[in-house]
Amino acid sequence: MVTAGPTREYVDPVRYISNESSGRMGFEIARAAARRGWQVTLIAGPVALETPAGVRRIDVVSALDMLVATRKAFRAADVLYMSAAVADWRPKRKLSGKWRRKDDGSEQTQLELVKNPDILATVARHKGARMVVAFALETGDGVRRAQAKLRRKNADWIVLNDASALNAPVSSVTILGRDGSMQRRKSSSKAATAAALVGLWDRERGGP
Ligand code: CTP
């Protein structure tokens, strides 16, 4: 199973907090996995991408929706690629009507936010024999931070992205393993990176 894209956290019926994730990396992983004959469930946030052939797609909007769908699919999964860019925070309240710019003379306002659950950490806590691949986008001291994140979230691998990866067709990534391994892939297409990530399964199982 693969999660992909951003989540959207609504403030009112027409406004939301989200991020720049395009979902491309996750969709490429789903495509590469389906090509290998795997049964693939793709849990996608709001993205404008076509579903790869042979992939079962579940569309979600918010982090809470994604948590429900991910928990359910994880039970039957052997591998999780958690490439979604889950919004860390959501508005405490969603207004039922439009948030109006009342003409009360105030030049400031505040939006109360509450923390979203950590979907990956929640499901990976009891991962058993499943292989779990996390993703991270870091600014500064990326390798050390990503290694710490890998352990904190109980993942087997973490894919460290450069900030340039957001919304781009090409990216440089570093794949870090729980075993301390580190593989740097410079300016590869997301399709090539996806194929390498699907190949982690063979490595995990002692294959070629
Ligand atoms: N993730 C998740 N649920 C969240 C936030 C992140 O499942 N609420 C997953 C992402 O899909 C990714 C990994 O955790 O695979 C790393 O995400 P990141 O946002 O870098 O982690 P954070 O715990 O939010 O760390 P930071 O303190 O750097 O924001």
At 174, the amino acid letter reads T
**pLDDT score for 82:** 98
* 117 CA: nearest ligand 1 atom: 8
- Nearest-CA residue for atom 21 of ligand 1: 136
Model confidence band, residue 208 (pLDDT cutoffs 50, 70, 90) = very low
- Cα(118)–Cα(113) distance, rounded to whole angstroms? 15
Pocket of ligand 1 (CB under 6 A): 63, 82, 84, 86, 88, 116, 118-120, 134-136, 149, 153
**pLDDT score for 103:** 60
* Separation of CA 86 and ligand 1 centre (Å): 7
* Separation of CA 173 and ligand 1 centre (Å): 16
Q: Which helix (H) or strand (E) holds 187?
A: strand 182-189
* Separation of CA 135 and ligand 1 centre (Å): 8
**What 8-state DSSP symbol labels residue 50?**
P
Model confidence band, residue 203 (pLDDT cutoffs 50, 70, 90) = confident
Higher pLDDT residue, 202 or 77? 77
Model confidence band, residue 104 (pLDDT cutoffs 50, 70, 90) = low
Residues 113-168 have pLDDT tens digits of 999 999 999 999 999 999 999 999 988 789 999 999 999 999 999 999 877 666 67
**What 8-state DSSP symbol labels residue 154?**
T
Secondary structure (3-state) at 28: helix
What's CA 193's distance to the chain center, in Å?
A: 15
Instruction: Indicate which residue of 19, 154, 161, 167 is catalytic.
Output: 19
Please compute the mean of the pLDDT values over residues 6-24 and round it to a whole number.
Answer: 96
Instruction: Count other Cβ atoms within 10 Å, centred on residue 162.
Output: 17
Q: Are 151 and 125 in contact (CB under 8 A)?
A: no
* CATH class of the region 2-93+113-203: alpha beta
Q: How do beta strands 40-44 and 55-59 pair?
A: parallel
* Separation of CA 145 and ligand 1 centre (Å): 12
**What 8-state DSSP symbol labels residue 85?**
B
- Nearest-CA residue for atom 4 of ligand 1: 118
Residue 19 annotated in active site = yes
What's CA 149's distance to the chain center, in Å?
A: 14
Residue with tokens 């490439």: 83
Model confidence band, residue 207 (pLDDT cutoffs 50, 70, 90) = low
Residues 26-78 have pLDDT tens digits of 999 999 999 999 999 999 999 999 999 999 999 999 999 999 999 999 999 99
Percent of the chain with pLDDT over 90: 81
pLDDT above 90 for 107: no
Q: Are 40 and 33 in contact (CB under 8 A)?
A: yes
**pLDDT score for 196:** 95
Cα separations in angstroms, 201 against 62, 118, 146, 170: 29, 24, 20, 23
| For the chain, counts of helices (H) and of strands (E) | 6, 12
**Across-strand partners of 12?**
15
User: Phi-psi bin for 58: left (phi > 0), alpha (psi -120 to 50), beta?
Assistant: beta
- Cα(143)–Cα(176) distance, rounded to whole angstroms? 8
**pLDDT score for 138:** 86
Which residue among 64, 79, 82 is best mutated to probe the pocket of ligand 1, counting the most ligand atoms within 8 A of its Cβ? Answer: 82
